[in-house]
Amino acid sequence: MFDVLVYLYETYWRPDACPDHAQLTRKLSAVGFETDEIQEALSWLDGLASAATSFQGQQGVDSLRVYSTAELDHLGEPSVGFITFLASAGVLRPPMREMVIDRAMAISGGPMDLEDLKIIVLMVFWSLGEEPDALILDELFVAPEDRLIH
C-alpha cells in the first residue's frame, strides 16, 4: 500500500489532481500495482480525505498530546518520538499531528515502521495541499546513513 501512496505523491501534485477511483484503479493497475494493494490505498486515502475535512480550519495552538496505551503500542516508540520531534519543531501543527496519528492507527499491525510513518506524514501534507520545507523533506526521504552531516 505504501508504494501506491508514494507513487500518487510523486505523480499527482495534489489530491484533487487525481482521477476518480475507477480511472485511478485502472492507471495503477497498468503501472503494475496489485488490486488488493490499490484498494487498500484508496480506502486509506478516503479516510485521509475525511480526516482532512474534519481537521480543516482548526487552529494550531500549542498543546500537549497524551497517547493512549493502544496508540503507544500501535505506533511504537520511534514513531511517537518522530511525531513529537515534528510537532515540537513546529512542522506538524496539532490538527496535522492528529491526522498523522489517525491515519497511522488505520494501518493494521504494529508497531508502526518509522519509514511507513514518514510516508503518512508526507501524505498528510499532500492532502492539505502543503509542501514541507526542504529540511523536512530531507528528514522524510534521506536515509540516516546517506546524510552528509551526521
pLDDT, tens digit only, all 150 positions of the chain:
999 999 998 898 788 888 899 999 999 999 999 999 999 999 999 999 988 887 766 655 667 889 999 999 999 999 999 999 999 888 888 999 999 999 999 999 879 999 999 999 999 998 988 877 766 766 666 555 544 444
Can you give the residue ranges of every domain in the chain? 2-146
What distance in Å separates the CA atoms of residue 71 and residue 67, rounded to the nearest whole number?
6
What distance in Å separates the CA atoms of residue 127 and residue 45, rounded to the nearest whole number?
9
Residue entry with cell 510513518: 117
